[in-house]
Amino acid sequence: MRGVRIIVRQSHFLDFALTARVLRRSTRNLVDRVDDDGTWTRAIVLARGSALLRGKQHGATIAFVAASAHAADRPVIHALVTKMFALDRDVAPFWRRVRREPGFAELVRRCAGLRPQRFPTLFEALANGLCCQQFSLASGMTRLGYLAEHFGLRTPDGTRVGPPEPGLVARATLSAIRQAGLPGRRAAALRDLAHLSLEGFEDELIPLSDADARARLLELPGVGPWTADYVLLRGLGRLDVFPSGDVGTARTLGRVLGLDIEPEAAERIAARFAPLRGMLYFCMLGYLLKGP
């Protein structure tokens, strides 16, 4: 059987299983899965079709294997995993700082080795944002699961689905999208986004500051302040962005510090960790996943 194997060696400490679980966030996620032994899997789209990608850590290395892939796909797969797991980013300054912060010892214990994650495409990041904004995580992931099942590409054996594909969403009826549980305006916004040339739009954002890129994202259909920040962080890899107004994140930060914290106060605390304040957001997810 055809396949591609890629070995990535890390010079810094990494907990790949925890990082993959934070990417997954919930057992309701049908796109990303993490087995008990820490093996991460996801259906990916390559030039000749879809393939199932596996990743597992072995000491200081991570082995990625893409079934049904060809040798020509190797550079694409390497770029994909590097992007998704920020394997080329230095987050050591965040960990040095957080270890000096009073009240964060338990967070450091639970989240040691956690790295930021990024969705492969801007459309996937936007779809995640639209499904999760103003909904609970479980509810948002249920909506994303429906979209993946109906508008995602399947692996060759038909057992796994990838994230919703913009081409399939663009051709769908609004009623079909609304069956995911999205309100009418949000369903229309998702379909409008699927019609846009988001790759070109993403290229336009690259040279912009975080503030200017945020302003451009706010011009997109259905994108509000929280979604714009979410996409900056999880879609564009802007690691100094901490999603504004995130009630769940603020609540978890309050648990970490033993305080009642509102979203505005959470943003002020996150500012201590600039220029990597977005790492605190990922740690809130990791803290919950590694909790009792």
Domain boundaries, the chain: 3-88, 122-234
Token look-up 């969705």 returns 119
Axis-axis angle for helices 198-205, 210-217 (nearest 10): 150
pLDDT tens by residue, the chain, 292 residues? 468 899 998 877 899 999 999 999 999 999 999 999 999 999 999 988 889 999 999 999 999 999 888 889 999 999 999 999 999 999 999 999 999 999 999 999 999 999 999 999 999 999 999 998 877 888 889 999 999 999 999 998 899 999 999 999 999 999 999 998 888 899 999 999 999 999 999 999 999 999 999 999 999 999 999 999 999 999 999 999 999 889 999 999 999 999 999 999 999 999 999 999 999 999 999 999 877 6
> For residue 138, what pLDDT is reported?
87
Nearest CA to 276 out of 12, 23, 113, 94 is that of 94
Dist. CA 101–CA 264, nearest whole Å: 19
Q: Give the contacts of 40 (CB within 8 A, at least 6 positions apart).
A: 16, 17, 20, 23, 24, 32, 33, 34, 54, 55, 56
Helix (H, G, I), strand (E, B) or coil at 153: strand
Fold held by 3-88: TATA-Binding Protein (3.30.310)
Helix (H, G, I), strand (E, B) or coil at 86: coil
> H/E element holding 57?
strand 49-58
Axis-axis angle for helices 278-289, 16-24 (nearest 10): 90
- The class level of CATH for 122-234 reads mainly alpha
> H/E element holding 34?
strand 33-34
Q: Give the contacts of 241 (CB within 8 A, at least 6 positions apart).
A: 210, 214, 229, 232, 233, 277, 278
Where residue 246 falls (left for φ over 0; alpha for ψ -120 to 50; beta otherwise) is beta
Dist. CA 245–CA 224, nearest whole Å: 11
